[in-house]
């Protein structure tokens, strides 16, 4: 560590004003502040002076995603071997290793593409490389099916960073969650690679030998096509994540571990997380009341376990940039996400999963929610002022 610090200190003058590599100072800054907590603190004004900066905050989110990621890798391998009929013959390590080799390229591609674009924009616009992509770069692979072609990951990441973030002025100014922007882009641009019963399990589309009776259909797929009684998964499968789906979304348990990390460190808002689940449960209950078809009679708690619901609630809806900022607003924002997610999922057959669209929709509405929360607060306090003066 010491040697690294000395090396950075040695080359630092090159990047400072007047140095020969001055142009690349934002790139140097990005590396330096990533490795070491910067020694710059605010000296004027009423700022909170804390050792935790944006990079350290973002790392917490990445750590919180690790359980879901690791489980996802194992699950990829597990379903691959199940489809080949080798389920019992492979060890846990072999299974994990297969998934690891499948998932790592997606992560590398997503980070390299995103950071390259961020650094280029940082140079052109003369600002620091923003930290937001640490999280986005990890979120993008977790919400994709494992067999996604890598060039699509490049296109989607570039789209999300340029159109989703940089046109609005960079990280922190974006209206939409960039990772979901990338997913939505892929979903609408290349639907055959983002939905159906083949894409979720590695190797199925190459036509590798599939044992009889195996199906790569997701639970949403069974439900949407009205074949729920054929579905081979139990409720505990749903909770622990032994179901097909996007890489990181299957295990509710792993996601809940992440949620605990986020809430405990104060990085993610517990209000948003709980209100998304509450909204989803309520909508599920309302649909249960009417229950005119099989999908509507799926018990409400199962809705919270399947698809991307838990993942969206914990990692996507809590994105501090695109969520509501006011405390009351967070309750409304989360609650509406839960309601919309289940509503789209069950009632719109064109979209097998509604969580992505629900969060993007509420991202757009978040500033409006904040506006009315603040307005009502102002009104309430004006009234109180009048009452005390009278």
**Token pair for 201:** 């399990």
Q: Write down the least CB distance from residue 205 to another protein, Å.
A: 12
Q: Write down the least CB distance from residue 137 to another protein, Å.
A: 22
**Which of 167, 235 has the CB closer to another protein?**
167
**Which of 149, 266 has the CB closer to another protein?**
149
Q: Please list, in sequence order, all residues whose beta carbon lies within 8 angstroms of the beta carbon of residue 88, skipping any fewer than 6 positions away.
A: none
Torsion sign across C-alpha atoms 291, 296, 298, 300: negative
**By CB under 8 A, what part of segment 341-370 binds another protein?**
none
Q: Write down the least CB distance from residue 149 to another protein, Å.
A: 6
**By CB under 8 A, what part of segment 175-194 binds another protein?**
185, 188-193
242 is a site residue for another protein (CB under 8 A): no
44 is a site residue for another protein (CB under 8 A): no
Tell me if residue 41 falls in helix, strand or coil. coil
Q: Write down the least CB distance from residue 162 to another protein, Å.
A: 9
**Which of 193, 370 has the CB closer to another protein?**
193
6 is a site residue for another protein (CB under 8 A): no
Give Cα 85 distance to the centre of its chain.
Answer: 32
**By CB under 8 A, what part of segment 97-156 binds another protein?**
149, 151-152, 155
Residue with tokens 């808002």: 269
Q: Write down the least CB distance from residue 350 to another protein, Å.
A: 13
Q: Provide φ and ψ at 242, rounded to 5°.
A: -85, 55
Long-range contacts at 206-213 (CB < 8 A, ≥ 24 apart):
208/83, 208/84, 209/84, 209/85, 210/83, 210/84, 211/83, 211/84, 211/85
Q: Please list, in sequence order, all residues whose beta carbon lies within 8 angstroms of the beta carbon of residue 366, skipping any fewer than 6 positions away.
A: 322, 323, 324, 325, 329, 333
**By CB under 8 A, what part of segment 145-164 binds another protein?**
149, 151-152, 155, 163
Q: Which residues bind another protein (CB under 8 A)?
A: 149, 151-152, 155, 163, 167, 185, 188-193
């Amino acid at each position: 560590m010491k040697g690294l610090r000395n090396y950075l200190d040695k080359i630092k003058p090159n990047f400072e004003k007047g140095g020969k590599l001055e142009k690349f100072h934002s790139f140097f800054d990005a590396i330096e502040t990533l490795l070491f907590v910067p020694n710059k603190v605010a000296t004027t004004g009423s700022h909170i002076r804390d050792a935790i900066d944006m990079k350290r905050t973002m790392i917490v989110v990445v750590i919180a995603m690790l359980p879901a990621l690791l489980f996802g890798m194992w699950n990829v391998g597990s379903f691959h071997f199940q489809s080949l009929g080798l389920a019992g013959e492979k060890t846990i390590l072999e299974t994990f290793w297969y998934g690891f080799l499948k998932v790592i390229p997606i992560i590398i591609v997503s980070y390299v593409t995103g950071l390259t674009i961020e650094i280029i924009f940082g140079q052109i616009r003369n600002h620091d490389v923003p930290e937001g992509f640490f999280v986005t770069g990890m979120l993008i692979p977790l919400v994709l099916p494992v067999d996604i072609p890598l060039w699509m990951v490049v296109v989607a990441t570039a789209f999300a960073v340029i159109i989703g973030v940089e046109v609005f002025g960079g990280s922190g100014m974006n209206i939409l969650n960039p990772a979901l922007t990338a997913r939505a882009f892929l979903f609408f641009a290349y639907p055959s690679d983002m939905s159906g019963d083949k894409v979720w399990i590695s190797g199925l589309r190459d036509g590798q030998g599939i044992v009889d009776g195996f199906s790569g259909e997701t639970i949403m797929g069974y439900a949407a096509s009205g074949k729920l009684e054929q579905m081979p998964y139990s409720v505990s499968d749903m909770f622990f994540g032994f179901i097909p789906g996007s890489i990181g979304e299957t295990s509710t348990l792993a996601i809940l571990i992440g949620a605990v990390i986020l809430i405990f460190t104060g990085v993610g808002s517990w209000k948003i997380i709980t209100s998304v689940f509450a909204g989803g449960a309520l909508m599920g209950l309302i649909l249960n009341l009417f229950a005119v078809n099989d999908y509507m009679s799926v018990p409400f708690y199962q809705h919270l376990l399947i698809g991307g619901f838990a993942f969206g609630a914990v990692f996507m809806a809590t994105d501090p940039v695109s969520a509501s900022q006011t405390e009351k607003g967070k309750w409304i924002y989360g609650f509406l996400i839960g309601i919309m997610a289940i509503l789209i999922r069950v009632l719109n057959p064109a979209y097998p999963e509604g969580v992505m669209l629900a969060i993007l929709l509420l991202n757009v509405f978040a500033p409006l929610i904040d506006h009315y929360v603040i307005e009502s607060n102002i009104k309430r306090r004006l009234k109180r002022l009048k009452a005390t003066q009278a």
